[in-house]
Chains A and B, each alone.
Chain A
Amino acid sequence: MTLQPPKSNTSATTSGCFHLKQRNVHYSTQHKYSQNMEVATTKGVLSHLSRLEVQKRSLKSQPQQPGGVKALRATVEALLTQRDQLRAEIQTHKNIKKLRVSMDKQCTNEEEETEEGMDEDSENSNLLRLMARHTQLKDLLHAHNVVGGYNVVKTRQGKGVCVSVATFYEGVYLNTYNLEIDVKPTVRISRHNVPPFIPLNNLAEQSNMQTDLRTLLDPLSQHLNAFAGRQQQFKFVKELHKSVEVMESNVLCSLLVLKFTVPREKTAVLCSLDYTDCTRSLPTRVHFESDDEELPESPVWKTHCSFLMETPVHKALKTMRKTGNIV
């Protein structure tokens, strides 16, 4: 008779108390099975001992390690090749490091590329040079990421910086906004071309820019990119959907009122899109108004409502026109 192994695998990570509880439960079921075959075991120490004995027996019956010595030799081989690989990698890294030092010097001094005296043949050295360049670019990218992906240029002999914040929407680069910031004696914005409806002063006051400039730049980038996104959407609506009339909008692009015409009945529906969260390019509220009071409550228009909340407006209009819901 084989006893089932205790179901402790899944509960291994749970508390010991729970684990123990399962075992106790199991012993009582064990008791039922063993009653027929063996002398009735008592709960407690004796049953525990008998369980251990069974475990030992099951371990013994497991297949042996395949040809012990052979296996060990194979392991040795594998480890040796691994060691050689690692040694080669270390050597490559050393060479790349040497190359990088001279490459970085070249970049700052803008000297002509000088021939590096490499011991290996030309193919190898080219490959090494490529690898060094790769690491250089990766480091540059990492530094760019640390700065937050913003272009920064030092100005005024290190006493200031000029930060560029790029905006883009749907994969197209739009305006770039710049901030000239004095670093000494205190961090202070001296000049910028951010439009006045973006609350730059508020963001600067709320940020921790004396210690971490990114506490200003990240929210600002969020505002600017969201604005650029909304601006593009409004532009596309005006250009691509001439049958939809733009009743109202504003410079901040935080409000858009459109007039739809429903085909067949030719009823007009006024659609108000509020973008009260200026860090987002999707609306916070969509509202329909129509002479036909039942229309905005109909399920079709309720789906339109949620659709417009989740999709950029120019794309939503395209779909709505295609499905024939609006002219």
Chain B
Amino acid sequence: MDDSAKRLLQRLMRRIPTPTLRSALEKWGRLTTEQQKSMDFTQSKWALTERLLGICEVNSAIFSEIQINVNQGMWYAFQLMDPEDDAKSVDLTQFKEQFKSHLRELVRNVSIKMKKHTDEAVWIRIAWGDTFSRPNHLKPTYIVHYLQTPYVFVTSITSKQKPLLSQALVLSTRYQAIKDANLSGRKLTAIRDLLMKKYQQVFPTKYPIPPPENNQTISNQHIEKEQAELAANRLQMACEAFGGGMLPQLQSAVYKLETKFRDHSNKTMTEREEPFRCVVKFTSTNLLESFRHCASSGIASTPVTPLLSCIPLKGRNYFLITDNGPGPSSQRGQPQV
């Protein structure tokens, strides 16, 4: 651990309020249970910091993963487009060298740390500076990328920094462009699993999914008997649309509608030139789980509407829906995603 890292840890520890220190370290999750237990929280903060530094030396924990802030940042997904022929043979050394050199060409005074994890994820930590100021380590940008896949996950980046990062990424991964994947969430693992298709998906087979164990006492045998097949069908369709087992934890889905107001009794609204805009936002602690339950319990009609099932299908949770039809008073336009 170098000196700058030590100083950074000391400053971070100073910023965390003492009562929340224990939970913050637990959330960080980098200490083993024994190490966590060995921290005596009755000691002074300075003593605790020294102890933590000692543990970190042992763990050689990488600061790229510190999210000691209580509020976890949002992760955004980007997609690289149009690979060159040698994109699939880019190896780690080449990527590291190219990324660092390209970014340093664009930004003076930038601190870049890159490390590969055992699950093949490349973590990049960038502390941005400029011609006049040193890199700001308190507001770093974190980037996660798996080589030979087109997805990049980014957190804590400003709109000014985005084009610089995009250029460095495109050039070093040997693609031609990068675009917003319209997927965001608080948990990196969730959006990663959704895009890399690492969760359990359900496909039509000859054998339907067995219904979950029902611990509730069956109120009426006749109702159960009648509803059993319908319930099984709903469960199958819900799982086909959203997935089986544990689902990636998304927190929200946003639909931005641009349409025309249609109510002949309200002339002022219908005669407006600009499209009528409205936003529909779904939020939940586990959005996909909620949707799946809505479908399997019958609250939402099955087969599941493509507006909802395209969240896992296309791997995005931000949609812009526009009307397709011409003119204000003609037939209803088809929503186009």
Contacts and interface: CB of A to CB of B under 8 A. Distances in A.
Nearest to A154: B204
A250 B147 contact: yes
A255 interface: yes
B149 interface: yes
A254 B89 contact: yes
Interface stretch (B7-15, B58-66, B193-201): B193-201
B204 A153 contact: yes
Nearest to B200: A193
Interface string A142-177: 000000000001010000001010000000000000
B204 A155 contact: yes
A249 B91 CA distance: 9
A54 to B, nearest CB: 75
B217 interface: no
Interface residues on A, range: 20 to 34
A310 interface: no
A180 B120 CA distance: 29
Given A195-B196, A250-B147, A178 B203 contact: yes
Contact of B150 (A196, A248, A249, A278): A196
Given A153-B204, A153-B205, A178-B203, A196 B151 contact: yes
Interface residues of B, number: 21
Contact of B149 (A194, A196, A255): A196
A319 B172 CA distance: 39
Nearest to A163: B203
B77 to A, nearest CB: 12
A191 interface: yes
Interface in B93-150: 116, 120, 146-150
A164 B148 CA distance: 24
A251 interface: yes
A152 to B, nearest CB: 10
A30 to B, nearest CB: 71
B160 interface: no
Which of A164, A250, A276 counts the most B-chain CB atoms under 10 A from its CB? A250
B206 interface: yes
B176 to A, nearest CB: 15
Given A178-B201, A195-B196, A252 B206 contact: no
Contacts of B91: 248, 250, 255
Given A250-B147, A251-B147, 11 more contacts: A155-B204, A162-B205, A164-B205, A180-B204, A191-B201, A194-B197, A196-B197, A250-B146, A254-B89, A254-B148, A274-B89
